[in-house]
Structure 1
Amino acid sequence: MPSNPHVAATATRRVLLLLDVQAAMLAPPPQGVHSSELIHMNVSRILLQARSAKPPPLIIHVRNTGDKLEPDEPNTPGWQLVFPPLPHEPVIDKLKNNAFAGTKLGDLIPSDAEIVVVGMQTDYCIRATCSAALGRGNEVLLIKRAHATYDGMQAWNGGVKIPAKTIEAETEAELEEAGVVLLEMSDLPGIFANR
């Protein structure tokens, strides 16, 4: 525990939330997302920047718990976190898209905290968790090219394939309209700077 309570308060008012940054999702395609190499590199840079900030934000790793025989089935190689958490970085296991649903995440993040979100999948866990955080009153920052998903399909439209990049862009626009702040990787040097 820091000796200066102001430092602790400042640190917890900023959170880096790594959603489902797991081995199966960041494997080379087709198991992993289409841009797994870029996402790995960008999330690595963001995590390094956050860990070196003075004071660092609260860094929380969220791990999706898949069903039996799914790539992220618990205690399988695909379920493992890509970036090992440091001892003081909490790990939350979730069963739903919304990382706040049925977990202790809401207890860890104050409702006035600013949450920086990265990870997978854009149209599921990213969308649901960002929306839930906005509903709690959090300011939510989503870093472009630090989240990704898979190609989709419109079953109602004859099975037309939707490229992952299109899904990511449409979800970003939807979240921005709802109040999420979109950031670029070029914004990284200032994201965790003490303000």
Structure 2
Amino acid sequence: MPAPVLGSSKCPSKIELNDRVLLLLDIQQCVLAPTSKGGIPGAQPVRDNIGEILTAARKAERPPLIVHVRNTGDVGDMDEPDTPGWQLIFPPLPSEIVVDKRKNNAFAGTDLADYIPNNAEITMVGFQTDFSIRATCSAALGRGNEVLLVRGAHKTYPRIEVLHGGGVTEAEKVEAEIEAELSEAGAHMLEMEDIGGIFNGR
């Protein structure tokens, strides 16, 4: 049985709201493509860390609501709908939700907010740090959600600079910048060794 997709006939009429959510952003096959074909450099270790977090969530005594967010690109994009790159890396279980989005902010233009109460704690992982992660974390904080971002469980591309002399900023520096920005805004930064307590802390 496939996972329900928000806004489709496969979506159950009611899903029990949960005060804990694992939100997996844009974890799609295209990010694992060779870098020569547009994949994100260094994505595989991050994919493995996300898999560890997803396994911990699924095995928790009281599992969080697990939501897979899938970015929908345009024709010719690596994440064009119904192409291999668009597919999720981790197949959702029947109890998990799939949300298709077209904007960086996963709450924009989707029904995601109907499934995540404003008081829910959201653990957020995925790709890309300076686009979907940044925008969705910021939106969640604006809603009043507590946001947890795990270092080593999000990734982006190196940033090509068009100002200040040009050049390229390493991806790790971009990720650190976004972590600092989101931390200042109120998000909590966790390490991979913290995941054992994320879903079983209370």
TM-score in terms of structure 2 length: 0.89
**Which runs of 5 or more structure 2 residues have no equivalent in the other structure?**
1-15
Preserved CA contact (<8 Å) 1:141 1:182: yes
1:121 aligned onto 2:96: no
Q: Alpha-carbon deviations, 1:10-56, whole Å to 9, x = none?
A: xx100000000000013343422222111111001000000000110
| Counterpart residue number, 2:108 | 101
Distance in 2 between residues matched to 1:28 and 1:179, nearest whole Å: 35
Matches within 5 A, 1:76-87: 76-87=83-94
| Counterpart residue number, 1:26 | 32
Q: Alpha-carbon deviations, 1:78-117, whole Å to 9, x = none?
A: 0000000001101000010000000010001000000000
Preserved CA contact (<8 Å) 1:54 1:194: no
TM-score in terms of structure 1 length: 0.92
RMSD, aligned CA: 1.1
For residue 179 of structure 1, the aligned residue among 168, 171, 186 is: 186
For residue 66 of structure 1, the aligned residue among 73, 88, 93 is: 73
| Counterpart residue number, 2:10 | none
Preserved CA contact (<8 Å) 1:27 1:36: no
**Which runs of 5 or more structure 1 residues have no equivalent in the other structure?**
1-7
Report the secondary structure of 2:21's partner residue.
strand
Q: Alpha-carbon deviations, 1:135-174, whole Å to 9, x = none?
A: 0000000000000000111112333111111100000000
Report the secondary structure of 2:68's partner residue.
strand
For residue 99 of structure 2, the aligned residue among 92, 95, 102 is: 92
Q: How many residues align?
A: 186
For residue 22 of structure 2, the aligned residue among 3, 8, 16 is: 16
* Letter aligned with residue 161 of structure 2: Q
